[in-house]
Amino acid sequence: MSASKPPKRAPAGDYPVGYAKPPKATQFQPKQSGNPSGRPKGRPSLNEIILEEAARIAKVKVGERVLHIDKDRASIRRLFDLGLHGNVAALRYAMSLLAQAQAELGDTADPEAPLTEEELAVLNILSKKPGK
């Protein structure tokens, strides 16, 4: 046999109690939250998360040495290394980033300046055709 349930009491309020209408005694007071601790405010945006991750320190092996540098610096270093080793897409992107940085900082080369000895030596090496 099942135990019988006590009979329901009539609500002691001046309005009907039912779905979405709790008794007045158990309702939240005016200007009081039902979830006082609530969701934490100030959740970081995606851009803030990206900047935070880029600032973290990474271990990078350069030759026999292990360097501890920021991830953003390590990424740019890797991009330039890929470009120098023949990855044309990486080289193009690295050069566009370099041009953008130079334009923002006002650090551009003077096209009218005479070439240095090192620049002339590089041009001399590049101008020699293989097999001669």
Position 130 confidence tier, pLDDT thresholds 50, 70, 90: low
Residue 11 reports pLDDT greater than 60: no
Give the residue with greater pLDDT, 74 vs 29. Answer: 74
Residue 90 reports pLDDT greater than 70: yes
Burial of 91 (C-beta count, 10 Å sphere; 0-12/13-18/19+) = middle
Q: Using alpha carbons, select from 109, 54, 103 the residue that is nearest to residue 76.
A: 54
Domain borders along the chain are: 71-107
Has this prediction a pTM greater than 0.85? no
Q: What is the mean pLDDT of the chain?
A: 82
Position 13 confidence tier, pLDDT thresholds 50, 70, 90: low
Report helix angle 88-105 to 71-84, nearest 10: 120
Position 131 scores a pLDDT of: 55
Position 118 scores a pLDDT of: 86
